Amino acid sequence: MKMYENNPLYEKLASYKDCSDPKKREVAWSWMTAIGLQAVDLLTVSDFLLDLAIKNIEGEISMDGVTKALNKHYAEKKKDKIRKEYCTYTRIYRDRNGQYEFPFKYENED
């Protein structure tokens, strides 16, 4: 796919489509189909996901392991985003004395 040109992880993943091992070939086609469906909506998948897909094809990680890794990865990203938004918020809403004002209650969404 053009959007993945020069991406070594995608190229490695695509190479499994012609693999002599039928199980690896089948799993690779499944991953390529899923990635293609994302591309229809002009969405690209991350290198993190491509790496997980390759590990799944190689049998290093199960689909359950892929799901757990993705959930953990994006939960951490969400926490980082919340922290960044909170820090930005606290910088914006300072009163004249340098004390923080909180016009709304901050609640962690864990």
Dihedral angle of Cα 70, 79, 9, 3, to the nearest 10 degrees? 110
pLDDT for 29 equals 92
Contact in structure between 46 and 54 (CB atoms under 8 Å): no
Q: Which residues contact 17 (CB under 8 A, 6 or more apart)?
A: 25, 28, 29, 32
pLDDT tens across the length of the chain (110 residues): 677 878 999 999 999 999 999 999 999 999 999 888 888 888 888 899 999 999 999 999 998 999 999 888 888 888 877 776 655 554 544 444 555 444 444 455 44
Q: What does pTM read for this prediction? A: 0.69
pLDDT for 106 equals 45
Contact in structure between 61 and 54 (CB atoms under 8 Å): no
Contact in structure between 37 and 75 (CB atoms under 8 Å): no
Q: Which residues contact 55 (CB under 8 A, 6 or more apart)?
A: 61, 66
